Amino acid sequence: MNGSKVMPLILGILLCVLSVATAKESVVVIVDTNARIESHSLFINQLTASGFKTEVKQVDDSTLILKKYGEFLYDHIVLLAPNTEEFTGTTSPDVLIEFVDAGGNIIVAADVETGDAIRELVSEVGVEIDESGNSVIDHFNFDGKDVGYHTLIRTSPDNLINSDHIVKKGGNGCLYHGTGLATDLSNPLVFNILTASSSAYSHNPQEMIKDYPHAVGKNTVLIAGLQARNNARVVVLGSIDFLSDDFLTSNIGSLSKGVKSGLAGNSQVASDLVAWCFKQSGVIRIDLVEHKHVKSDSSFPSFYTVNEDCEYSVKISELANGAWIPFKADDVQMEFVRIDPFIRKTMTVDENGLFKAKFVVPDVYGVFKFVIGYSRLGLTSISSSNQISVHPLRHNQYERFIYSAYPYYASSFSMMAGVFMLALVFLYHKDPEAKSKDD
pLDDT tens, residue order, the chain (439 aa): 444 444 444 444 433 333 333 457 899 999 988 899 999 999 999 999 888 999 999 888 888 888 888 889 999 999 999 988 888 767 888 899 999 999 999 999 999 999 999 999 999 999 999 888 888 988 888 776 666 788 888 888 888 999 889 998 877 788 999 999 999 888 889 999 999 888 888 888 887 777 766 667 788 899 999 999 999 999 999 999 999 999 898 887 644 444 455 677 889 999 999 999 999 999 999 999 999 998 887 888 889 998 889 999 999 999 988 899 999 998 999 999 998 999 999 999 999 899 999 999 998 999 999 999 999 999 999 999 999 999 988 877 777 777 788 888 889 999 999 999 988 888 887 766 666 665 5
What gap in Å lies between CA 197 and CA 409, rounded to an integer? Answer: 77
**DSSP string of 80-119, one letter each residue:** E-TT-SS--TT--HHHHHHHHHTT-EEEEE--SS--HHHH
Which of 354, 350, 281, 351 has its CA nearest to residue 319?
A: 281
Give the phi and the psi of residue 4 in degrees, each rounded to 5.
-65, -25
Q: Do 293 and 307 meet the contact criterion of CB atoms below 8 Å apart? A: no
Distance from C-alpha of 324 to C-alpha of 76, rounded to nearest angstrom: 21
User: Among 236, 233, 279, 251, which residue's Cα sits nearest to residue 50?
Assistant: 279
Q: Which of 38, 132, 131, 130 is nearest to 80 (CA)?
A: 38
**Burial call 160-191: b when 16+ CB within 10 Å, e when fewer:** bbebebbbbeebbbbbbbbbbbbbeeeeeebb
Can you spell out the DSSP letters for 172-236?
--EEE-S--EEE-TT-TTEEEEEE--TTEEEE-TTS---S--SEEGGG-EEEEEEE-TTS-EEEE
Taking a C-beta distance cutoff of 8 angstroms, is the pair 271, 314 a contact? no
Q: Which helix (H) or strand (E) holds 427?
A: helix 406-428
d(CA 87, CA 84): 7
SS3 305: strand
HSE of 389, CA atoms in CB hemisphere, 13 A: 5
